Amino acid sequence: MLREMQNVQQVRGEAKRRWFFCHDIDLVVWEEADGAICGFQLAYDKHRDEHSFSWDKERGFSHYVVDDGEPMAGVNDTPFLYADGPFKRDRVLDLFLAMSSEVPADIVAFVEARLREFNGPLLP
């Protein structure tokens, strides 16, 4: 289950960051001062072929493959995001909904709506 991390590092000048974590997926949500969501990033398949799906109110949608920056055991370099092709929306949506019972309902509804709204290239 996704659980909210406490004491998440905040970046001066950015919207408030909230982080929900579990073994397979992570959700980071950015909230404006009034609590409105202005962006999120959903990382999935973290231990297989990690990808990241993002939505931002200014830039819209993006989908990335994540290079974890670890070319060999014991090396911990900075991860990089590379633009990736079609998105397995239905599978990722099902996974997110199955893991989100402890995420506030308004956040779940918002992320679900954006996932369903995405009209880019999809894979079954």
Mean pLDDT of 16-28: 97
Q: What is the pLDDT of residue 67?
A: 64
Q: Contacts by 84-87 with C-beta closer than 8 Å and gap 24+?
A: 84/51, 85/121, 86/120, 86/121, 86/122, 86/123, 87/51, 87/53, 87/63, 87/118, 87/120, 87/121, 87/122, 87/123
Q: Give me the residue spans of the domains in the chain.
A: 3-117
Say how many Å lie between the first and final Cα of the chain, rounded.
24
Q: Are 2 and 100 in contact (CB under 8 A)?
A: yes
pLDDT digits (tens, 9 = 90+) for 50-102: 889 999 999 999 888 876 655 544 555 555 555 666 788 999 999 999 999 99
pTM of the model: 0.85
